[in-house]
Amino acid sequence: MPPGFVDSHSHLVFAGDRGAEFAARMMGKPYDGGGIGVTVAATRAATDDELRRLLAARIAELQALGTTTIEIKSGYGLTVHDEVRALQIAGEFSGETTFLGAHVVPAEYAEDRAAYLDLLVGPMLEAAAPHARWIDVFCEPHSPHAFDAEEARHVLTAGAAAGLGLRVHGNQLGHGPGVLLAVELGAASVDHCTYLDDTDIDALAAAADATVATLLPGVEFCTRSPYPDAARLLAAGVSIALATDCNPGTCYSSSMPWVISLAVREMGLSPAQALFAATAGSARSLRRTDIGRLVIGNRADLAVLDAPSYLHLAYRPGVPIARTLDLHGIAQ
Ligand SMILES: [Zn+2]
């Protein structure tokens, strides 16, 4: 019986569907982050109850696959009202809520990015901070919709001043400044890390006590991108985690067992290393010590495997052998 999976990166509060975008990408259309705007429009148009119902269904889905802790980001509202609404609804399901007003610049501000940044680090942050534990930014100069290093630094510095912990989407679409910025600012996690150079890896290794490299191989799978070499990161001394990045654009899967199987098959991890990264590693990326390990004093936060060994998580990809244990049901 392993610890319950800790999915430390998800975007679960959204409405709408981007199956057609996925199909087009599989037929060769490149991804540049622009599809997020489609989900923003659908999410803004949804009622609170619709968003709550959709989120509840997604939570039930991931619990049925063995995940016991889920981090949930906002980022499909991108107005003060809609970001706060997403965080409030997410907070009904998880204490690990992340303000991601810096997901993309919304279309209505495309010609005036500075005005959106002023809104983001001003009234939006002030309204969102009471409902969030973390702040995140899509630091990606390769996307015209996301944020460059200077903008990301501005967002993260303001978030830290508002009392939020720092997370970064970095180095996803190409080599970029996200990893070094995350390390410099002491972020708990820098996520994706698809494109890393030696300087990035050295910096992550030197910062291994503070900053975790969270790998999201479901995204590489669903966008047909190259996988980072997780074995090399471990050998260099980097702290790594695994998470789903479950979102309607680049990885619409909430399955941590599938992520583990990808990490073993495609990123060079052993089954034990992958399981550790999906539990203790991702707990560390959330700066949690009460989950992700089965030790005396921790919560009895378990996944149950209908299999003779944890090896089957990678050995039987796509087969639902993991589930959560309903301790409340047992106690009663
Ligand atoms: Zn993400």
Per-residue pLDDT of the chain (332 residues; tens, 9 = 90+): 899 999 999 999 999 999 999 999 899 887 676 789 999 999 999 999 999 999 999 999 999 999 999 999 999 999 999 999 999 999 999 999 999 999 999 999 999 999 999 999 999 999 999 999 999 999 999 999 999 999 999 999 999 999 999 999 999 999 999 999 999 999 999 999 999 999 999 999 999 999 999 999 999 999 999 999 999 999 999 999 999 999 999 999 999 999 999 999 999 999 999 999 999 999 999 999 999 999 988 888 999 999 999 999 999 999 999 999 765 443 32
Alpha-carbon dihedral sign for residues 57, 191, 171, 43: positive
Token pair recorded at residue 170:
């970095």
> In Å, how far are 34, 173, 253, 255, 289 from 226, measured between CA atoms?
20, 10, 18, 20, 32
Cα 231 to averaged position of ligand 1 atoms, centre (Å): 22
The rounded Å distance from CA 98 to ligand 1 centre is 11
305 CA to centre of ligand 1 in angstroms:
27
Question: Ligand 1 centre and the CA of 100: distance in Å?
Answer: 9
Residues 244, 253 contacting (CB under 8 angstroms): yes
SS (H, E, C) 253-302: CCCHHHHHHHHHHHHCCCHHHHHHHHHHHHHHHCCCCCCCCCCCCCCCCE
Determine the distance separating the centroid of ligand 1 and the alpha carbon of 331, expressed in angstroms.
36
Whole-number Å distance, alpha carbon 309 to ligand 1 midpoint, is 31
**Ligand 1 center to 251 CA (angstroms):** 9
111 Cα to the center of ligand 1, angstroms: 24
**Alpha-carbon gap, residue 28 to 160, rounded angstroms:** 40
Pairwise CA distance, residues 321 & 14, whole Å: 28
Instruction: Give CA–CA dist 114/10, Å, rounded.
Output: 27
Q: How far is the CA of 326 from the centre of ligand 1 (A)?
A: 28
* Centroid of ligand 1 to alpha carbon of 296 (angstroms): 33
**What is the distance in A from the centroid of ligand 1 to the CA of 303?**
24
In the reported structure, the alpha carbon of residue 169 is separated from the centroid of ligand 1 by a whole-number distance in angstroms of: 6
